[in-house]
Amino acid sequence: MMFEGGAKSVFAPLCGKSLDLIWMYNRGHTVVGAEIAEQAVQELFSEKKLDVHVQHVEGVGPLYKVPRPAFVITEEGWAVLPHDH
């Protein structure tokens, strides 16, 4: 069984709009992705009808965030998140 022992934090570099991200998110895992193609990020949230909030972080770029369980994708490379995410 994948992810035994409860919810995990998952990092997905170059995630695009992979359905694996949604699968993990829907099972309560914290999902963090990094993607450089803005269109892919926007399409993922739009197609899955997720209520996304965009936060612009200096030096990081836009963070696309869905409330808990956390689902965050950044377009500008790697993101550092607070421990409560």
Per-residue pLDDT 10s for the chain (85 aa) are 466 777 788 888 888 889 898 998 888 888 888 888 888 888 998 999 988 899 888 877 888 888 776 777 776 555 445 444 4
Tokens (6 digits) for 31: 């999902």
63 with 72: CB under 8 angstroms?
Answer: yes
How far apart, in whole angstroms, are the C-alpha atoms of residue 32 and residue 21?
A: 9
User: Which residues, in sequence order, are CB contacts of 31 under 8 Å at separation 6+?
Assistant: 10, 12, 21, 24, 25, 69, 70, 71, 72
pTM check: above 0.75: no
Within 14-50, strands assigned E span 30-34
